[in-house]
Structures are given as structure tokens and as C-alpha cells.
Amino acid sequence: MKINSIWKFTAAAAFLFAMDACSNSASPDDDEYDDIPTTTSSNSTKRSSSSAAGTISCSMLKESLSAPTNFAVTKDTDSSWTLSWDYVRNDSRGESGFEIQSLDLEAKSPDWEGEGTTNADVTIYKLKGAKKAGKYYRVIAYDGCGISKESNRVQIKADGYTNVDSTTVVQSDMPTDVAITRIAPSVWELSWKYSETKDDPNRKFIIQTSKLKDFKWTGLKSPIEGNVRHYYIEGRDKIETYYRLAVVNSGDTSAFTEAVQLTPDIEYRKYMSPEIPAPSPRITMTYITGIDRDDDPETDDSTIVRAVGTYTIMNNVSKYIVESEYTDTVYYEARWFTSYEKYNNYKEDCKGKQTVDACDSCYWTETFPYQEPSISKRFDAMEDFQDAARKTTYYEYCYDNSGSEKNFAYCLESYVRKLCGYYVQFRLVWKDNINGKGKGATDWSEWTEPYNVADISGADKICNSN
């Protein structure tokens, strides 16, 4: 038992010694810690060493801690200031916190000293005290295995205002021309330009988002590769979100760009915009003879018993919409409306239909494929029914109730003439496949102006006859 206990004690002591050495040193001979500064001042603020890095051997880490950037000081009062900075953490090595450091050049032995700390993800600090003026300040990130490079320095002058030491400001150029363009009903492209022509295998672009500008910025899970200049935003839940970018070149992070917001009124890419349909109308009519409509049996009379108004969309749907990887379906929609609609003439539900034969401003919609872009409205006295039970056609109704051939002809044409009271509008409908087929978002072109069948060339033969 004694031998076993001594062995356990020796193993535990060795483990604790190894962990202590890991959490308090960074060997200059290790590649992971090249150029990482250390704080040697005895006055450094005590830092917590708990982090994800502390749970594994420090020698196994492959990335350095990211350095804070864009360190800034804002004067609140004569004796208080707000310190803030940007930080983009490495995916495989997150910080445990941040340490604010100060340098007093009037001291006997000037050295960077710990001023205070914040927890991980807290990139703001309140500095108080009139004696804080006149010093230089900077910030570093730390974890259980070491510290990052320092940020740029900022001096709080004797009057309480600041002076940025430009020699330590990050030099990487930020991305430019950041823009958002819509490419599908619920898909947008975030694009940017970057001036560097020399390839940097370590270059990455960092994208951060915020629902409220400058409130809480959150980075994407993975950075964007250095040769990419776009990022696709999917889902209407992203509307009103702000986006900003920075570039990382070999560990140096640029300043973030000005934020751009994804708003509902962002326009489509020019060749992806759903265009308003351009319909071409025509009318066809069918006549019958043999009905004496002028009480002159010697003349050849003809009576219109059928009229069809047809609209064909002449402009093609953009092939970029049809072939887009985000497209689920594309089709046209027609909206008919009239005050003459009767229960046996509409194809779908007539919204607003009353129990009487005619309804006030009756309207309904019909869809038709872009591959067969034509739709028609027809009145046919020979085939359309006069009664709800569909037992009597209009031809039979007029024949039984007219009393004369002249009235018979007028009765037939009076029915067909109702086509002249119809109006129709068109629009293009585009549904994407975000969230799966049939579950995507839908967008439309604007409706066309209303088209009246009576305005079709040749329609006056039925619409203006007495």
C-alpha cells in the first residue's frame, strides 16, 4: 500500500508541474509562439488562465492567439474614459480574456504594467481616475498558454484627450466596395473588392453580423478564403441585419469596413430581376348562320355565338432566373376581374361572389406556365350553361325564351358580349428553394396595368354592336 501511495503522489506531482509549466511559459523555440510578447512586470494584473487551450497540451496548439485591433479611447469625463477594441478569435484557439496595459514614461523605470482585465468576448473597459491621464495604453489577449501580440498604442494626454500612436496601427488595407445584391427571392450576395494582387496563402476575410448597428457583432463560424470576393446570405430572417468585413494577412487584421445593411428594398442583380410581363392580345369569334335577325329572309345573316380573348406573354423569362441553382418554380399569374361574372363562368373561387347571378367586382387568379405563356377568357353560347345545375345551355335558353328569330340572335350575342366587360392583369412569380423544394420564399414582378378585352383590335364587332 505504501509503494502504491508513493507512486500516486509522484505521478500527481509530475502532472501538476507539467501543467504549471504550460500555463506560465511560452518557449521561444516553439513555432507556435514566434514573436509573441510576454509581460514581465511584477505589477501586471493577475490574469485567469482558464481557456480551451488550457485543456490540452500547449505544445499541441497550431495557432497563435489573435491580436486585438483598432484599440481606441473615448473621453467620458475629465477623469474617466471608455476603452474599446475589435477582436476576431482563431477558431481553434479562443482567448480567456483581455488585459489592458499602461506605460508611464515619467516613471523611474518605464515599463508596461497591467491596468485591468476583461473576460473573453468583452471588448470594452472603463478607465477611471485623474492620474490615468498622461500614460500610453494598449490591450492584449491571453489564454492559459500565452498572450497575443499587442494592439496599437493610444496616449491619453494631460488634457484628457487622446493621441493614437500611428506607428503601431495595423497596416493591412481593409476590403472596399462592400455591397449587397439580391439574386433570388430570399438570397443575397455580399460582395467586396480587395486591392492586394499578391497572393497570400494565409489571407482570410472575416465577416461579422449584427442585428443592431454597433451593438453586438458576431463573427461567422468560418472565415472566407483569401481568393473569394463574395458570400451568399440565405433566408428572409436575415433582413435588417448589418454586415462588415475585415481582412487578415499573416496574422495582421485590418480595420473593419463600414457596415452595410440588408434591407427589403435592395435591388436584384440586373439580369435576375423578375420583369413585368408584356402581353399581346387577340380575339377570335365564331358565327352561325340560319337565324333571320333582320326580318328579311332574302339576306344572309350571321350571329356571333362564341368569342375568345387571348393574351400571350411576349417577353421571355430571364434564363438566369430559370437556370439559377436557387430556383424552385417560375410561372405567370393572371388576375381577372369584372362586374358581370356569373356562377358558371369562373374557373376558380370567385372572391366576393354573391348569391345572385352578378357580383360586384368579382375577381380571381389563374396561373399558367412560362413555357406556354398564353391564357384565354371565353364566352360560348353553344357550350356555356345558363343554370347552376348545368342542364340548359345559353343557346337553349335563348331559343326557348326569345319568341322570334331576331330576339333569338340578340339574346345569343348579348350573352357573348359580356366578355367585353372583363379586365385582366399579369405578373411573373418566382419561388426559390431555400429550406427545401416547395418551402422557399416567393417574389413577384409588379402587376401589369389592367387590360380590357373590349380594347383588343377587332373586339368592336361584338363589343360595340347593337
CATH number of the domain where residue 110 is located: 2.60.40.10
- Residue 449's pLDDT is 94
Both 321 and 259 in one domain: the answer is no
Both 109 and 77 in one domain: the answer is yes
Both 85 and 221 in one domain: the answer is no
- Residue 235's pLDDT is 94
Q: What is the DSSP letter of 293?
A: S
Both 164 and 233 in one domain: the answer is no
Half-sphere exposure of 126 (CA within 13 A, CB side): 5
Q: Is-contact 323 338, C-beta < 8 A?
A: no
The residue among 139, 168, 197 that closes a domain is 168
Strand partners, 242: 210, 261
- Residue 37's pLDDT is 37
In a domain? residue 3: no
- Residue 35's pLDDT is 34
Instruction: Collapse the DSSP code of 86 into the 3-class scheme (helix H, G, I; strand E, B; otherwise coil) and give the result.
Output: strand
What is the domain extent for residue 345? 279-463
Both 374 and 420 in one domain: the answer is yes
Both 236 and 300 in one domain: the answer is no
In a domain? residue 449: yes
- Residue 250's pLDDT is 67
Instruction: Report the distance separating Cα 351 and Cα 164, nearest Å.
Output: 68
Other C-beta atoms lying within 10 Å of the C-beta of residue 101: 23
Instruction: Report the distance separating Cα 36 and Cα 312, nearest Å.
Output: 71
In a domain? residue 148: yes
Q: Which grid coordinates are listed for 329?
A: 418554380
Both 163 and 209 in one domain: the answer is no
Instruction: Report the distance separating Cα 88 and Cα 65, nearest Å.
Output: 10
Both 286 and 423 in one domain: the answer is yes
Residue with cell 501586471: 44
In a domain? residue 326: yes
Q: How many domains does the chain have?
A: 3
The residue among 120, 142, 168 that closes a domain is 168
Q: Which residues contact 110 (CB under 8 A, 6 or more apart)?
A: 103, 104
Both 156 and 108 in one domain: the answer is yes
Both 237 and 336 in one domain: the answer is no
Its pTM surpasses 0.85: no
Q: Show the low-confidence residues of the chain (pLDDT under 50).
A: 1-43, 52-54, 166-170, 342-348, 352-359
In a domain? residue 212: yes
Both 357 and 227 in one domain: the answer is no
The residue among 218, 239, 267 that closes a domain is 267
- Residue 50's pLDDT is 52
Question: Which conformational region is residue 361 in: left (phi greater than 0), alpha (psi within -120 to 50 degrees), or beta?
Answer: left
In a domain? residue 383: yes
Instruction: Collapse the DSSP code of 107 into the 3-class scheme (helix H, G, I; strand E, B; otherwise coil) and give the result.
Output: coil
Instruction: Report the distance separating Cα 180 and Cα 6, nearest Å.
Output: 67
Q: Which residues contact 360 (CB under 8 A, 6 or more apart)?
A: 339, 352, 354
- Residue 466's pLDDT is 56
- Residue 458's pLDDT is 94
